[in-house]
A and B are shown apart, each in its own frame.
Chain A
Amino acid sequence: MNEYKDLRLTVASSPHANSPVGTRALMLDVLLALMPALAMAGYFFGPRALVLTLVSVVGCEVFEWLYRFLMKKPQTAGDLTAAVTGMLLAFVCPVTLPYWAVLIGDFFAIVVVKQLFGGLGKNFLNPALAGRAFLLLSYLGYMTTWVKPGVNNWTGVAGVADAVTAATPLAALHTGSLPSVSMQNLFIGNVGGCIGEVSALALILGGVYLVLRGVIHIRIPAAYLGTVALLTLIFPKGNDPVQWTLCNLFSGGLMLGAFFMATDYVTSPCTPVGEWIYGVGCGLLTVFIRYFGGFPEGVSYAILLMNVCAPIIEKYTHPGRFGVQKGGAKA
């Protein structure tokens, strides 16, 4: 009586539907959101910026693939998380960094920081920032050579040694004075600095895209940028407070850090309240390092330090229990 006897039905626990957005789609969105910043880098620093970024992306993907292959673990290179790491690591390096050096950074980020700790989701430091910290400690000279942005310098940058160098706005801020560039140039990124960090405009565009797409939540960037803005506004080191605040917000790696680094899923807290605390912590540390530290820039170390704090922040910020807090008994 039954014509449907040879059906091969899957029996599984509910739910039987998944959101169309998987890990790979999220990572694609992050890569897409970084494109405006990459375009600006290409415009200001020339083709070498694009090539160095490509080398880093390919380097990270290859290291990821190779490690999983050699260790006979399920292949994960396709999830594109390594590509994001590669792109972000290139973004926090100067355009004149040798290709071999960025590959060393890639190796450290992917193999040491990420895979040796168990791979995606298990690393406790942001791989890209840890890679940068490693490069900064190992190759201080390469990592602190800043070239003058602009088409005139493109060929110089390509030849590395002939590039015209320039001070970064952060160097000025570190001495307690406003940088000599106009606010407009600072905002669009016509200044010296790392490949992907110079254009606040492009990074904000990318960040807003990520927030609107639901890839990241506004909490961490808002808390981070808000804290930096508030502190610099209150303590302007004798400068015009508004100018000083804007210069601090648009200089260095802050925008890149706030929208793309601090929001790294793996190394930031998973709880909403935790994200606020974490963002504020990043902001506090960034300003402290910029004000009192030996380096002009504090973003990467601030985020790395907060990475380490994420588990404990998370532990104490679990959401309240449904039906237990106020409103539980009767409205």
Chain B
Amino acid sequence: MLHQFFGGVHPAGHKELTEGKAAAPIKEAPAQVVIPMSMHVGAPCKPTVAVGDQVKVGQLIGETAGLGAPIHASVSGTVKAVEPRLTAGGSPVMSVVIENDFKDTPAPSIKRRDNVGALTGAQIIEIVRDAGIVGMGGAGFPTHVKLSGAVGKVDTLIINAAECEPYITADHRLMLERGEAIIGGAKLLAKAVGLKEATIGVELNKPDAIEHLKSLAGEGIHVEGLKTRYPQGAEKQLIQMLTGRQVPPGKLPADVQCLVCNAATAAAVYDAVTEGKPLTQRYVTLTGGAISEPMNVIAPIGTPVSHLIKLAGGFKSEPERILFGGPMMGIAIYDVDVPTMKGTNCVLSLSAEEAPVQDPAQTCIRCGKCVEVCPMKLTPLFIRMNVNKRRWDETMALNVLDCIECGSCNYICPARLPLVQSFRTAKAAIRAEQAKEKAKKEAAKA
């Protein structure tokens, strides 16, 4: 029985650009990969290799220091540099730069496992950790941490294959081409946290994927078609849709007995457990109106965006914005040399027609559409009013911290007001103030 989530919008899908195109390993490997030591929520990894070292595919090159997931070489070759490099986030991050020898020599540690059925939950989580798997839908939370926290607490495992962002078809292709890996991964994830079942949520705009997964599903795997609506794939909304439960403010899915993993994450778990392969490559959609040949590729993590764009035939028109992710939540990059990361599902090059610059002089007409579409039941127009006056306490009272930044309000706004940007401003200000207060309290204690 399906439930409903609040609000939501229907942005134009544009998935036809790539949904019919099978993903292939990139035709030409990059001469160099740049692997940032921070591709996850938590502390950056410590590089375990030095300049001049020879590395093999899947070899550990970054070990966790606190919360995080280890990082592995995605090509074989020579470490050319260990230095801060610019990443999509806009700031330099310590990175390992590897010159590709184009031999793709696998690390000796990569071995097929024959005793998969005999593995215990704890062993699966251990393998997931060692494989450096993080949430591949973009959030980048270390999967083993999520799993450890869920053991014994959750009664529902949800595989997020909604892929509600426009343009992106990486998960869609993954479902069609590696359906058995997603289902196998779902079964392993379920076992890891002591469950017997998993539900895969897919939006109905991918009927072929739903049918394919259903034909493979087997016992304990339910495939649910979800009426297409953005932000279906937001964790809290997907949980609400499939279980009717609402994750309370500031809480985690585990607090409503749910565990949500992305479809690509499930496939990565399957590869790690059965093939012994760490996370070193992923499906990436290269698309947008400015790209000559939109396509899906399987690319080594750390491939520079410029290399991928070249493979996709370059630009057919001047791109206005290049995004990591989709148009609703994607991050705009300003340098095409930044590398893809574990959470990069799409490189989207929007033309000027697709992302026109909006007239900043427009004003709120109080139409209330932002209130109507907000999946978190916020009142965006009132929050924005208070942000403009720098009234942080009022924005907090209006629960701005609940905002998931899905962009629905911003999308629907007829005056095209930068609502999400103002909420980010408020969140940052509130968190800075909270940190200041905490420091003050600690100072008083000392």
Spell out A's residues near B (CB within 8 Å). Answer: 1-4, 7-19, 21-23, 25-26, 74, 76, 79, 81, 119-122, 217, 265-266, 268-272, 275, 318-325, 327-331
Contacts and interface: CB of A to CB of B under 8 A. Distances in A.
Nearest to A315: B382
Contacts, number: 181
B320 A10 contact: yes
Contacts of B323: 14, 16
Given A4-B309, A17-B411, A319-B377, A121 B363 contact: yes
Contacts of A1: 306
Contact of A323 (B249, B331, B412): B249
Contact of B336 (A7, A17, A322): A7
Secondary structure class of chain B's binding surface, majority of residues = loop
Contacts of B166: 17
B443 interface: no
B418 interface: yes
A19 B372 CA distance: 14
B383 to A, nearest CB: 11
Interface string B402-432: 1001010011111110101100100000000
Contacts of B398: 318
Given A2-B337, A7-B318, A322-B236, A330 B327 contact: no
Interface stretch (B116-124, B198-206, B218-226, B354-362): B354-362
Given A2-B337, A16-B321, A321 B402 contact: yes
A271 B309 contact: no
Nearest to A78: B359
B368 interface: yes
The 8 closest A-B pairs by CB, nearest first: A15-B407, A270-B368, A13-B421, A74-B361, A323-B248, A17-B327, A323-B246, A319-B377
Contacts of B371: 270-272, 319
Contact of B355 (A16, A272, A318, A322): A16
B139 interface: no
A14 B376 contact: no
A322 B246 contact: yes
A323 B90 CA distance: 33
B249 A322 contact: yes
B336 A4 contact: yes
B319 A265 contact: no
Interface in B117-133: none
A212 to B, nearest CB: 15
B64 interface: no
Interface in B373-388: 374-379, 381-382
